[in-house]
Structure 1
C-alpha cells in the first residue's frame, strides 16, 4: 500500500473524518505496524495537532500566536534538499 494513501487516512482519522474508500482500520494498522516512516509521520502530525490545539488564543485573533504556530511548524517540517542549478524541483520548475 502506498504511504501517501496511508498518510491521507491518518490525517482524516486525526480530523475525525472517515477513512478513504477501500481502506479499513485493520489495513491502516497493519501498514503502520510494518512502516516506521508512517509511524513517525503519524507521531509528528499528532504532535503538531496537540501543539496547535494547546496554543493560546486563535491565530486569526492574535498575530503573535499565528507567528509562533508557524515557527513551530517550520521546525518539524521536512525540508527538501537543495536543487542544483539546472535541476528540476518537485514542482517541476527549473532551478538556477
Structure 2
C-alpha cells in the first residue's frame, strides 16, 4: 500500500470523511501497524488539528494564544506529498 494513499485516508478520517475507494479500515490499520512513518504522520496531523481547534476557541485579540499556537506549529512538521512520485518513502514504501 502506498503511503500517500494511506495519508489521504488518514486526513479524510480526521475530517470525518469517507476513505478513498478500495481502502478498508482493515487495510488502513494493517499499514499503520507496519509503517512507523505513517503512524508518526498521523500523530502530527492530529496534534496540528488539536492546536487549531484550541486556537479557534480563543479570542482573536489574545496575543498569548496566537504565540502559543505558532510555537506549537513550529514543532510539528507535516509535509504531505513530500516524497516525489516514484521515489521510495521512509519505511520502504513507494510513493506516488
Q: Which of the five TM-score ranges fits, normalised by the shorter chain?
A: 0.5 to 0.7
> Structure 2 length normalisation: TM-score?
0.66
Q: How far apart, in 1, do the equivalents of 2:18 and 2:37 lie?
A: 22
Where does structure 1 differ by over 6 angstroms across 4 or more consecutive aligned residues?
none
The structure number with the bigger radius of gyration is: 1
Q: Which residue of 1 aligns with 2:34?
A: 34
- Residue aligning to 2:58: 57
- Equivalent residues in 2 for 1:1-96, closer than 5 Å: 1-55=1-55, 56-57=57-58, 61-62=60-61, 64=63, 69-77=69-77
Shift of 1:76: 1.2
Q: What is the CA distance between 1:51 and its match in structure 2?
A: 1.2
Select the structure with the greater relative contact order (CA < 8 A; seq sep ≥ 6). Answer: 2
Alpha-carbon shift at residue 36 of structure 1 (Å): 0.6
Segments of 5+ residues of structure 1 without an aligned counterpart are 80-89, 91-96
Equivalenced residues, count: 78
Give the alignment's TM-score, normalised by structure 1. Answer: 0.66
Change (3 A) 1:54 1:19: same
Q: Unmatched 5+ residue regions in structure 2?
A: 85-96
